[in-house]
Structure 1
Amino acid sequence: MIEADGVTCRFGGAAGGAEGDAGVVAVDDVTLSVADGEFLVVAGANGSGKTTLVRSFNGLVTPDAGTVSVNGTPVSDDLVAARSAVGMVFQDPRDQLVAATVGADVAFGPENLGCSHAEIDRRVEDALAAVNMAGRGDDRIAGLSGGERERVAIAGALAMEPDHLVLDEPFTGLDEPARRSVLDRLRELHAAGTSVIAVTHDLRDVLGLADRVVGLSAGRVAVDDAPRAAAEKLPGLDVRVPASFDFGETGGPTGREPGEPSEHETGGPTDQ
Protein backbone atom coordinates (compact mmCIF):
# COMPACT_ATOMS: atom_id res chain seq x y z
CA MET A 1 0.00 0.00 0.00
CA ILE A 2 1.05 3.56 -0.69
CA GLU A 3 -0.07 6.11 1.89
CA ALA A 4 0.30 9.88 1.55
CA ASP A 5 -0.56 11.84 4.67
CA GLY A 6 -0.81 15.63 4.49
CA VAL A 7 1.72 15.86 1.65
CA THR A 8 2.71 19.39 0.63
CA CYS A 9 5.40 20.11 -1.99
CA ARG A 10 6.77 23.55 -2.88
CA PHE A 11 9.15 24.69 -5.58
CA GLY A 12 11.25 27.83 -5.67
CA GLY A 13 11.28 30.41 -2.91
CA ALA A 14 14.19 31.90 -1.03
CA ALA A 15 16.81 29.68 0.55
CA GLY A 16 15.83 28.78 4.06
CA GLY A 17 12.21 29.63 3.41
CA ALA A 18 12.48 33.36 3.99
CA GLU A 19 9.29 34.96 5.19
CA GLY A 20 7.08 36.11 2.34
CA ASP A 21 8.84 33.90 -0.24
CA ALA A 22 7.67 30.36 0.37
CA GLY A 23 7.74 29.41 -3.30
CA VAL A 24 5.02 27.85 -5.43
CA VAL A 25 2.85 25.17 -3.83
CA ALA A 26 2.59 22.27 -6.30
CA VAL A 27 0.89 19.80 -3.95
CA ASP A 28 -1.21 21.17 -1.13
CA ASP A 29 -1.97 19.01 1.93
CA VAL A 30 -2.91 15.83 0.03
CA THR A 31 -3.95 12.72 1.92
CA LEU A 32 -4.76 9.55 0.03
CA SER A 33 -3.90 5.86 -0.12
CA VAL A 34 -3.43 3.38 -2.94
CA ALA A 35 -4.47 -0.11 -1.94
CA ASP A 36 -2.57 -3.19 -3.03
CA GLY A 37 -3.90 -4.29 -6.40
CA GLU A 38 -5.86 -1.09 -7.03
CA PHE A 39 -5.99 0.59 -10.44
CA LEU A 40 -5.95 4.30 -9.65
CA VAL A 41 -6.18 7.09 -12.18
CA VAL A 42 -4.75 10.45 -11.08
CA ALA A 43 -6.23 13.07 -13.37
CA GLY A 44 -5.72 16.77 -13.76
CA ALA A 45 -4.76 19.54 -16.11
CA ASN A 46 -1.15 20.55 -16.69
CA GLY A 47 0.15 22.20 -13.53
CA SER A 48 -2.40 20.54 -11.25
CA GLY A 49 0.31 18.80 -9.20
CA LYS A 50 -0.31 15.23 -10.30
CA THR A 51 3.25 14.47 -11.46
CA THR A 52 4.80 16.01 -8.35
CA LEU A 53 2.47 13.98 -6.14
CA VAL A 54 3.27 10.61 -7.67
CA ARG A 55 7.01 11.34 -7.70
CA SER A 56 6.80 11.61 -3.93
CA PHE A 57 5.67 7.96 -3.85
CA ASN A 58 9.24 6.70 -4.31
CA GLY A 59 11.28 9.64 -3.11
CA LEU A 60 11.99 11.37 -6.41
CA VAL A 61 10.35 14.39 -4.76
CA THR A 62 10.70 15.02 -1.03
CA PRO A 63 7.62 16.63 0.54
CA ASP A 64 8.05 19.88 2.45
CA ALA A 65 5.37 18.66 4.84
CA GLY A 66 3.60 15.38 5.42
CA THR A 67 4.79 11.82 4.89
CA VAL A 68 4.61 9.08 2.29
CA SER A 69 4.86 5.40 3.22
CA VAL A 70 5.16 2.36 0.95
CA ASN A 71 4.18 -1.03 2.32
CA GLY A 72 4.24 0.42 5.83
CA THR A 73 7.72 1.99 5.65
CA PRO A 74 8.24 5.75 5.30
CA VAL A 75 9.90 6.50 1.98
CA SER A 76 12.42 8.74 3.71
CA ASP A 77 13.56 5.80 5.85
CA ASP A 78 14.35 3.43 2.96
CA LEU A 79 14.63 4.91 -0.52
CA VAL A 80 15.91 1.65 -2.01
CA ALA A 81 12.89 -0.29 -0.80
CA ALA A 82 10.52 2.41 -2.02
CA ARG A 83 12.08 2.53 -5.48
CA SER A 84 12.04 -1.26 -5.75
CA ALA A 85 8.37 -1.40 -4.77
CA VAL A 86 7.20 1.60 -6.83
CA GLY A 87 8.14 1.47 -10.50
CA MET A 88 7.99 4.83 -12.28
CA VAL A 89 7.57 5.60 -15.97
CA PHE A 90 8.25 9.27 -16.72
CA GLN A 91 6.37 11.26 -19.32
CA ASP A 92 9.63 12.00 -21.15
CA PRO A 93 11.61 8.78 -21.63
CA ARG A 94 14.85 10.73 -21.98
CA ASP A 95 14.66 11.27 -18.22
CA GLN A 96 15.11 7.57 -17.46
CA LEU A 97 16.90 5.76 -20.28
CA VAL A 98 20.42 4.97 -19.09
CA ALA A 99 22.02 2.46 -21.47
CA ALA A 100 23.17 2.38 -25.09
CA THR A 101 20.97 -0.51 -26.23
CA VAL A 102 17.37 -1.50 -25.64
CA GLY A 103 18.16 -4.78 -23.88
CA ALA A 104 20.77 -3.26 -21.61
CA ASP A 105 18.41 -0.49 -20.58
CA VAL A 106 15.55 -2.85 -19.73
CA ALA A 107 17.99 -5.11 -17.86
CA PHE A 108 19.38 -2.25 -15.75
CA GLY A 109 16.77 -2.45 -12.99
CA PRO A 110 16.75 -6.25 -12.55
CA GLU A 111 20.56 -6.26 -12.53
CA ASN A 112 20.55 -3.78 -9.66
CA LEU A 113 18.10 -6.01 -7.80
CA GLY A 114 20.66 -8.81 -7.99
CA CYS A 115 18.58 -11.10 -10.21
CA SER A 116 20.23 -14.10 -11.83
CA HIS A 117 21.20 -13.96 -15.51
CA ALA A 118 18.37 -16.32 -16.40
CA GLU A 119 15.85 -14.22 -14.48
CA ILE A 120 17.12 -11.00 -16.06
CA ASP A 121 16.80 -12.53 -19.53
CA ARG A 122 13.24 -13.67 -18.76
CA ARG A 123 12.19 -10.26 -17.46
CA VAL A 124 13.71 -8.42 -20.41
CA GLU A 125 12.08 -10.75 -22.91
CA ASP A 126 8.65 -10.50 -21.25
CA ALA A 127 8.83 -6.73 -20.88
CA LEU A 128 9.85 -6.10 -24.48
CA ALA A 129 7.13 -8.42 -25.76
CA ALA A 130 4.60 -6.48 -23.70
CA VAL A 131 5.38 -3.26 -25.58
CA ASN A 132 5.70 -4.82 -29.06
CA MET A 133 9.51 -4.66 -29.14
CA ALA A 134 10.33 -8.37 -28.96
CA GLY A 135 13.65 -9.21 -30.59
CA ARG A 136 14.94 -5.65 -30.51
CA GLY A 137 17.24 -5.91 -27.51
CA ASP A 138 20.32 -5.11 -29.60
CA ASP A 139 18.85 -1.93 -31.11
CA ARG A 140 20.63 1.24 -30.08
CA ILE A 141 18.63 3.77 -28.06
CA ALA A 142 20.04 6.65 -30.11
CA GLY A 143 18.41 5.27 -33.26
CA LEU A 144 14.90 4.92 -31.83
CA SER A 145 11.95 7.19 -32.47
CA GLY A 146 10.37 9.09 -29.60
CA GLY A 147 7.52 6.61 -29.35
CA GLU A 148 9.91 3.66 -29.35
CA ARG A 149 11.92 5.25 -26.54
CA GLU A 150 8.76 5.58 -24.51
CA ARG A 151 8.02 1.91 -25.01
CA VAL A 152 11.54 1.04 -23.79
CA ALA A 153 10.98 3.17 -20.68
CA ILE A 154 7.74 1.32 -19.96
CA ALA A 155 9.49 -2.01 -20.51
CA GLY A 156 12.22 -1.02 -18.06
CA ALA A 157 9.62 -0.38 -15.36
CA LEU A 158 7.77 -3.61 -16.14
CA ALA A 159 11.01 -5.58 -15.86
CA MET A 160 11.31 -4.51 -12.22
CA GLU A 161 8.04 -6.33 -11.50
CA PRO A 162 7.15 -3.77 -8.82
CA ASP A 163 4.29 -3.96 -6.34
CA HIS A 164 3.07 -0.59 -7.62
CA LEU A 165 3.53 0.76 -11.14
CA VAL A 166 3.19 4.50 -11.79
CA LEU A 167 2.88 5.74 -15.38
CA ASP A 168 2.91 9.45 -16.18
CA GLU A 169 0.96 10.12 -19.42
CA PRO A 170 1.84 6.61 -20.63
CA PHE A 171 0.25 6.75 -24.08
CA THR A 172 1.83 9.94 -25.39
CA GLY A 173 3.62 9.19 -28.66
CA LEU A 174 2.50 5.57 -28.93
CA ASP A 175 1.06 4.23 -32.17
CA GLU A 176 -2.13 2.18 -32.07
CA PRO A 177 -0.59 -1.32 -31.80
CA ALA A 178 1.75 -0.23 -29.00
CA ARG A 179 -1.08 1.56 -27.18
CA ARG A 180 -3.24 -1.54 -27.25
CA SER A 181 -0.33 -3.75 -26.18
CA VAL A 182 0.45 -1.51 -23.20
CA LEU A 183 -3.23 -1.42 -22.23
CA ASP A 184 -3.38 -5.21 -22.36
CA ARG A 185 -0.26 -5.47 -20.22
CA LEU A 186 -1.64 -3.04 -17.64
CA ARG A 187 -4.84 -5.05 -17.51
CA GLU A 188 -2.84 -8.24 -16.94
CA LEU A 189 -0.70 -6.65 -14.23
CA HIS A 190 -3.79 -5.36 -12.45
CA ALA A 191 -5.45 -8.78 -12.65
CA ALA A 192 -2.29 -10.35 -11.21
CA GLY A 193 -2.38 -8.04 -8.18
CA THR A 194 -0.06 -5.17 -9.09
CA SER A 195 -1.42 -1.76 -8.21
CA VAL A 196 -1.35 0.55 -11.24
CA ILE A 197 -1.37 4.34 -11.00
CA ALA A 198 -1.98 6.07 -14.32
CA VAL A 199 -1.38 9.83 -14.38
CA THR A 200 -3.17 11.59 -17.20
CA HIS A 201 -5.19 14.52 -18.47
CA ASP A 202 -6.97 12.24 -20.99
CA LEU A 203 -9.01 9.38 -19.54
CA ARG A 204 -10.23 7.82 -22.77
CA ASP A 205 -7.87 4.85 -22.54
CA VAL A 206 -7.92 4.17 -18.81
CA LEU A 207 -11.26 5.16 -17.30
CA GLY A 208 -12.82 1.75 -17.90
CA LEU A 209 -9.85 0.02 -16.24
CA ALA A 210 -9.90 2.16 -13.11
CA ASP A 211 -11.12 1.13 -9.68
CA ARG A 212 -10.97 4.74 -8.51
CA VAL A 213 -10.23 8.19 -9.91
CA VAL A 214 -8.55 11.04 -8.05
CA GLY A 215 -8.76 14.44 -9.69
CA LEU A 216 -6.35 17.21 -8.71
CA SER A 217 -6.81 20.94 -9.11
CA ALA A 218 -4.28 23.52 -7.95
CA GLY A 219 -2.48 20.84 -5.96
CA ARG A 220 -5.52 19.69 -4.01
CA VAL A 221 -7.78 16.67 -4.29
CA ALA A 222 -10.98 17.89 -5.95
CA VAL A 223 -12.43 14.48 -6.92
CA ASP A 224 -12.00 11.08 -5.27
CA ASP A 225 -14.63 8.65 -6.46
CA ALA A 226 -15.49 5.53 -8.39
CA PRO A 227 -15.04 5.94 -12.16
CA ARG A 228 -18.68 6.38 -13.10
CA ALA A 229 -19.27 9.06 -10.48
CA ALA A 230 -15.91 10.72 -11.12
CA ALA A 231 -16.60 10.97 -14.85
CA GLU A 232 -19.44 13.38 -14.14
CA LYS A 233 -17.18 15.72 -12.16
CA LEU A 234 -13.88 15.62 -14.05
CA PRO A 235 -14.75 17.82 -17.06
CA GLY A 236 -14.72 20.79 -14.69
CA LEU A 237 -11.02 20.08 -14.02
CA ASP A 238 -10.07 20.54 -17.69
CA VAL A 239 -9.45 16.85 -18.32
CA ARG A 240 -10.71 14.79 -21.24
CA VAL A 241 -13.35 12.19 -20.41
CA PRO A 242 -14.75 9.75 -23.00
CA ALA A 243 -18.27 10.40 -24.19
CA SER A 244 -19.08 6.75 -23.51
CA PHE A 245 -17.30 3.83 -21.94
CA ASP A 246 -17.86 0.26 -20.83
CA PHE A 247 -17.46 -0.91 -17.24
CA GLY A 248 -17.97 -4.55 -18.15
CA GLU A 249 -16.04 -7.58 -17.00
CA THR A 250 -13.66 -7.45 -19.96
CA GLY A 251 -11.60 -4.77 -18.22
CA GLY A 252 -13.01 -1.80 -20.02
CA PRO A 253 -12.70 0.07 -23.14
CA THR A 254 -10.65 2.16 -25.35
CA GLY A 255 -12.98 4.83 -24.02
CA ARG A 256 -14.01 6.00 -27.48
CA GLU A 257 -17.33 6.20 -29.22
CA PRO A 258 -18.00 3.25 -31.54
CA GLY A 259 -16.12 3.91 -34.75
CA GLU A 260 -14.20 6.86 -33.32
CA PRO A 261 -10.62 6.87 -34.68
CA SER A 262 -7.60 6.89 -32.43
CA GLU A 263 -5.27 9.88 -32.10
CA HIS A 264 -2.90 8.04 -34.41
CA GLU A 265 -5.58 7.85 -37.09
CA THR A 266 -6.64 11.48 -36.74
CA GLY A 267 -3.18 12.98 -36.99
CA GLY A 268 -2.56 13.24 -33.24
CA PRO A 269 0.54 11.97 -31.44
CA THR A 270 2.12 9.03 -33.25
CA ASP A 271 5.05 6.72 -32.76
CA GLN A 272 7.52 9.18 -34.25
Structure 2
Amino acid sequence: MIETTDLVFEYGDVRVLDRVSLRIGDGEFVVLAGANGSGKTTLVRQFNGLLTPDQGEVTVDGTPVEDDLLGARQHVGMVFQSPRDQFVATTVGTDVAFGPENLGLDRDEIDRRVSEALDAVGMTGRGDERIDQLSGGEQERVAIAGALAMEPDHLVLDEPFTGLDEPARQSVLEKLAALGESGTGIVVVTHDLRDVLDLADRVIALVDGRVAVDTTPDSVEAALDGIGVRIPAGSNRR
Protein backbone atom coordinates (compact mmCIF):
# COMPACT_ATOMS: atom_id res chain seq x y z
CA MET A 1 0.00 0.00 0.00
CA ILE A 2 1.09 3.54 -0.78
CA GLU A 3 -0.15 6.13 1.70
CA THR A 4 0.36 9.88 1.90
CA THR A 5 -0.57 11.88 4.98
CA ASP A 6 -1.01 15.68 4.91
CA LEU A 7 1.55 15.96 2.11
CA VAL A 8 2.83 19.47 1.37
CA PHE A 9 5.36 20.32 -1.33
CA GLU A 10 6.49 23.76 -2.44
CA TYR A 11 8.61 25.10 -5.28
CA GLY A 12 9.88 28.34 -3.81
CA ASP A 13 6.83 30.31 -2.72
CA VAL A 14 4.41 28.19 -4.77
CA ARG A 15 2.56 25.44 -2.92
CA VAL A 16 2.20 22.60 -5.44
CA LEU A 17 0.71 20.00 -3.08
CA ASP A 18 -1.57 21.15 -0.28
CA ARG A 19 -2.11 18.59 2.51
CA VAL A 20 -2.73 15.60 0.22
CA SER A 21 -3.83 12.45 2.04
CA LEU A 22 -4.69 9.26 0.16
CA ARG A 23 -4.22 5.50 0.13
CA ILE A 24 -3.57 3.30 -2.89
CA GLY A 25 -4.07 -0.37 -2.17
CA ASP A 26 -2.16 -3.33 -3.53
CA GLY A 27 -3.48 -4.41 -6.93
CA GLU A 28 -5.53 -1.25 -7.50
CA PHE A 29 -5.62 0.35 -10.95
CA VAL A 30 -5.79 4.08 -10.24
CA VAL A 31 -6.04 6.96 -12.69
CA LEU A 32 -4.58 10.21 -11.34
CA ALA A 33 -6.10 13.01 -13.38
CA GLY A 34 -5.91 16.78 -13.48
CA ALA A 35 -4.92 19.71 -15.62
CA ASN A 36 -1.29 20.56 -16.35
CA GLY A 37 0.18 22.12 -13.22
CA SER A 38 -2.28 20.48 -10.84
CA GLY A 39 0.48 18.60 -8.99
CA LYS A 40 0.13 15.09 -10.46
CA THR A 41 3.77 14.48 -11.34
CA THR A 42 5.00 16.12 -8.16
CA LEU A 43 2.75 13.81 -6.14
CA VAL A 44 3.79 10.50 -7.70
CA ARG A 45 7.48 11.36 -7.54
CA GLN A 46 7.11 11.33 -3.76
CA PHE A 47 5.92 7.70 -3.83
CA ASN A 48 9.45 6.35 -4.20
CA GLY A 49 11.50 9.25 -2.92
CA LEU A 50 12.38 11.04 -6.15
CA LEU A 51 11.06 14.13 -4.35
CA THR A 52 10.82 14.72 -0.61
CA PRO A 53 7.82 16.49 0.95
CA ASP A 54 8.20 19.73 2.85
CA GLN A 55 5.58 18.50 5.30
CA GLY A 56 3.72 15.25 5.83
CA GLU A 57 4.73 11.68 5.16
CA VAL A 58 4.71 9.02 2.46
CA THR A 59 4.76 5.35 3.44
CA VAL A 60 5.02 2.19 1.35
CA ASP A 61 3.68 -0.90 3.11
CA GLY A 62 3.81 1.04 6.36
CA THR A 63 7.47 2.10 6.09
CA PRO A 64 8.29 5.80 5.62
CA VAL A 65 9.91 6.28 2.22
CA GLU A 66 12.67 8.44 3.69
CA ASP A 67 13.66 5.56 5.99
CA ASP A 68 14.09 3.02 3.18
CA LEU A 69 14.60 4.60 -0.23
CA LEU A 70 15.87 1.40 -1.84
CA GLY A 71 12.89 -0.56 -0.55
CA ALA A 72 10.46 2.09 -1.78
CA ARG A 73 12.02 2.04 -5.25
CA GLN A 74 11.80 -1.74 -5.39
CA HIS A 75 8.12 -1.66 -4.40
CA VAL A 76 7.13 1.34 -6.55
CA GLY A 77 8.36 1.33 -10.16
CA MET A 78 8.30 4.60 -12.09
CA VAL A 79 7.99 5.24 -15.83
CA PHE A 80 8.68 8.88 -16.69
CA GLN A 81 6.70 10.98 -19.14
CA SER A 82 9.56 10.79 -21.65
CA PRO A 83 11.02 7.25 -21.70
CA ARG A 84 14.33 8.65 -22.97
CA ASP A 85 14.79 10.30 -19.58
CA GLN A 86 15.26 6.93 -17.90
CA PHE A 87 17.24 4.91 -20.44
CA VAL A 88 20.80 4.23 -19.32
CA ALA A 89 21.96 1.87 -22.09
CA THR A 90 21.85 1.66 -25.86
CA THR A 91 20.24 -1.77 -26.23
CA VAL A 92 16.94 -3.07 -24.91
CA GLY A 93 18.20 -5.98 -22.82
CA THR A 94 21.07 -4.07 -21.26
CA ASP A 95 18.78 -1.25 -20.23
CA VAL A 96 16.14 -3.55 -18.71
CA ALA A 97 18.89 -5.40 -16.80
CA PHE A 98 20.26 -2.22 -15.21
CA GLY A 99 17.93 -2.16 -12.19
CA PRO A 100 18.30 -5.83 -11.22
CA GLU A 101 22.08 -5.59 -11.65
CA ASN A 102 22.15 -2.76 -9.14
CA LEU A 103 20.32 -4.96 -6.65
CA GLY A 104 23.33 -7.29 -6.70
CA LEU A 105 21.37 -10.24 -8.08
CA ASP A 106 23.13 -13.19 -9.71
CA ARG A 107 23.23 -13.48 -13.50
CA ASP A 108 20.59 -16.19 -13.75
CA GLU A 109 18.11 -14.14 -11.73
CA ILE A 110 18.85 -11.01 -13.78
CA ASP A 111 18.33 -12.91 -17.03
CA ARG A 112 15.05 -14.35 -15.74
CA ARG A 113 13.74 -10.93 -14.78
CA VAL A 114 14.75 -9.37 -18.09
CA SER A 115 13.15 -12.18 -20.08
CA GLU A 116 9.89 -12.08 -18.12
CA ALA A 117 9.70 -8.27 -18.25
CA LEU A 118 10.18 -8.21 -22.03
CA ASP A 119 7.62 -10.99 -22.43
CA ALA A 120 5.13 -8.97 -20.36
CA VAL A 121 5.33 -5.96 -22.69
CA GLY A 122 5.39 -7.88 -25.96
CA MET A 123 9.11 -7.39 -26.65
CA THR A 124 10.17 -11.04 -26.48
CA GLY A 125 13.49 -11.76 -28.19
CA ARG A 126 14.31 -8.11 -28.86
CA GLY A 127 16.95 -7.60 -26.18
CA ASP A 128 19.76 -6.93 -28.67
CA GLU A 129 17.94 -4.15 -30.54
CA ARG A 130 19.05 -0.54 -30.23
CA ILE A 131 16.62 1.62 -28.28
CA ASP A 132 17.16 4.64 -30.54
CA GLN A 133 15.87 2.63 -33.50
CA LEU A 134 12.55 1.77 -31.85
CA SER A 135 9.25 3.58 -32.32
CA GLY A 136 7.83 5.78 -29.58
CA GLY A 137 5.40 3.08 -28.51
CA GLU A 138 8.15 0.46 -28.40
CA GLN A 139 10.34 2.75 -26.31
CA GLU A 140 7.46 3.22 -23.87
CA ARG A 141 7.16 -0.56 -23.57
CA VAL A 142 10.91 -0.91 -22.94
CA ALA A 143 10.65 1.70 -20.18
CA ILE A 144 7.80 -0.27 -18.63
CA ALA A 145 9.87 -3.46 -18.88
CA GLY A 146 12.74 -1.75 -17.08
CA ALA A 147 10.43 -0.91 -14.19
CA LEU A 148 8.87 -4.39 -14.18
CA ALA A 149 12.30 -6.04 -13.94
CA MET A 150 12.50 -4.64 -10.42
CA GLU A 151 9.35 -6.70 -9.67
CA PRO A 152 7.45 -3.80 -8.07
CA ASP A 153 4.12 -4.08 -6.29
CA HIS A 154 3.02 -0.82 -7.92
CA LEU A 155 3.86 0.61 -11.35
CA VAL A 156 3.46 4.38 -11.80
CA LEU A 157 3.32 5.76 -15.35
CA ASP A 158 3.48 9.52 -15.91
CA GLU A 159 1.53 10.55 -19.05
CA PRO A 160 2.38 7.28 -20.85
CA PHE A 161 0.37 8.13 -23.99
CA THR A 162 1.97 11.50 -24.78
CA GLY A 163 3.27 11.59 -28.34
CA LEU A 164 2.00 8.11 -29.25
CA ASP A 165 -0.05 7.44 -32.36
CA GLU A 166 -3.26 5.43 -31.99
CA PRO A 167 -1.78 1.95 -32.68
CA ALA A 168 1.01 2.57 -30.17
CA ARG A 169 -1.49 3.93 -27.65
CA GLN A 170 -3.65 0.83 -27.97
CA SER A 171 -0.61 -1.42 -27.61
CA VAL A 172 0.41 0.24 -24.33
CA LEU A 173 -3.19 0.07 -23.07
CA GLU A 174 -3.29 -3.67 -23.79
CA LYS A 175 -0.08 -4.23 -21.84
CA LEU A 176 -1.35 -2.18 -18.89
CA ALA A 177 -4.60 -4.16 -18.87
CA ALA A 178 -2.66 -7.43 -18.75
CA LEU A 179 -0.42 -6.16 -15.95
CA GLY A 180 -3.42 -5.03 -13.94
CA GLU A 181 -5.07 -8.41 -14.36
CA SER A 182 -1.88 -10.10 -13.15
CA GLY A 183 -2.15 -8.27 -9.82
CA THR A 184 0.36 -5.45 -10.29
CA GLY A 185 -0.93 -2.18 -8.89
CA ILE A 186 -1.07 0.50 -11.60
CA VAL A 187 -1.14 4.28 -11.25
CA VAL A 188 -1.57 6.16 -14.54
CA VAL A 189 -1.01 9.91 -14.43
CA THR A 190 -2.89 11.63 -17.24
CA HIS A 191 -4.78 14.72 -18.28
CA ASP A 192 -6.54 12.69 -21.01
CA LEU A 193 -8.98 10.09 -19.71
CA ARG A 194 -9.84 8.40 -23.00
CA ASP A 195 -9.82 4.61 -22.85
CA VAL A 196 -7.86 4.31 -19.62
CA LEU A 197 -11.07 4.72 -17.59
CA ASP A 198 -12.18 1.32 -18.85
CA LEU A 199 -9.23 -0.24 -17.01
CA ALA A 200 -9.48 1.72 -13.77
CA ASP A 201 -10.82 0.73 -10.37
CA ARG A 202 -10.63 4.30 -9.13
CA VAL A 203 -10.09 7.86 -10.34
CA ILE A 204 -8.41 10.58 -8.29
CA ALA A 205 -8.36 14.14 -9.63
CA LEU A 206 -6.17 16.96 -8.36
CA VAL A 207 -7.07 20.63 -8.60
CA ASP A 208 -4.54 23.22 -7.40
CA GLY A 209 -2.59 20.59 -5.48
CA ARG A 210 -5.57 19.16 -3.60
CA VAL A 211 -7.62 16.00 -4.03
CA ALA A 212 -10.85 17.26 -5.59
CA VAL A 213 -12.31 13.91 -6.73
CA ASP A 214 -11.78 10.36 -5.49
CA THR A 215 -14.38 8.04 -6.99
CA THR A 216 -15.12 5.05 -9.20
CA PRO A 217 -15.10 5.19 -13.01
CA ASP A 218 -18.89 4.79 -13.10
CA SER A 219 -19.32 8.01 -11.13
CA VAL A 220 -16.42 9.98 -12.49
CA GLU A 221 -18.08 11.91 -15.31
CA ALA A 222 -20.51 13.72 -13.00
CA ALA A 223 -17.81 14.27 -10.37
CA LEU A 224 -15.35 15.73 -12.86
CA ASP A 225 -18.01 17.85 -14.51
CA GLY A 226 -18.68 19.35 -11.10
CA ILE A 227 -15.12 20.70 -10.96
CA GLY A 228 -15.01 21.72 -14.62
CA VAL A 229 -13.03 18.76 -16.00
CA ARG A 230 -14.54 16.99 -18.99
CA ILE A 231 -13.80 13.56 -20.44
CA PRO A 232 -12.79 13.92 -24.11
CA ALA A 233 -15.38 12.98 -26.71
CA GLY A 234 -13.14 10.12 -27.85
CA SER A 235 -13.62 8.20 -24.60
CA ASN A 236 -14.83 4.63 -24.86
CA ARG A 237 -16.98 4.99 -21.75
CA ARG A 238 -20.61 4.09 -22.32
Give the TM-score normalised by structure 2: 0.90
Q: Summarize deviations over 1:154-179 as a string: whole Å, max 9, x none.
A: 12112222001101111223344443
Change (3 A) 1:122 1:235: farther
Moved more, 46-55 or 233-242: 233-242
Q: Summarize deviations over 1:33-65 as a string: whole Å, max 9, x none.
A: 001111111000110000100100000010001
Quick one: higher RCO (CA 8 Å, sep 6+), 1 or 2?
A: 2
Matched residue, 1:256 = 236
State which of 120, 143, 148 in structure 2 corresponds to 1:158: 148
Matched residue, 2:112 = 122
- How big is the shift at 1:147? 3.7
Secondary structure of the corresponding residue to residue 46 of structure 2: helix
Residues 1:37 and 2:17 are matched in the alignment = no
Q: Contact (CA 8 Å) 1:165, 1:196: kept in 2 or not?
A: yes
Matched residue, 2:61 = 71
Matched residue, 1:3 = 3
Gap regions ≥5 residues in structure 1: 13-22, 245-254, 259-272
What is the identity, as a one-letter code, of the residue corresponding to 2:199? Answer: L
Change (3 A) 1:128 1:173: farther
Paired residue total = 238
Matched residue, 1:50 = 40
Superposition CA RMSD, Å: 2.2
Q: Contact (CA 8 Å) 1:202, 1:239: kept in 2 or not?
A: no
Q: Contact (CA 8 Å) 2:49, 2:65: kept in 1 or not?
A: yes
Q: Summarize deviations over 1:62-95 as a string: whole Å, max 9, x none.
A: 0001000001100010100000000000001122
Q: Contact (CA 8 Å) 1:51, 1:199: kept in 2 or not?
A: yes
Matched residue, 1:100 = 90
Change (3 A) 1:40 1:257: closer
Give the TM-score normalised by structure 1: 0.80
Change (3 A) 1:173 1:126: farther
Secondary structure of the corresponding residue to residue 58 of structure 1: coil
Q: Contact (CA 8 Å) 2:221, 2:230: kept in 1 or not?
A: no
What is the identity, as a one-letter code, of the residue corresponding to 2:79? Answer: V
Structure of higher CA gyration radius: 1
What is the identity, as a one-letter code, of the residue corresponding to 2:3? Answer: E
What is the identity, as a one-letter code, of the residue corresponding to 1:174? Answer: L
Moved more, 187-196 or 215-224: 187-196
State the distance in 2 between where 1:237 and 1:100 align.
44
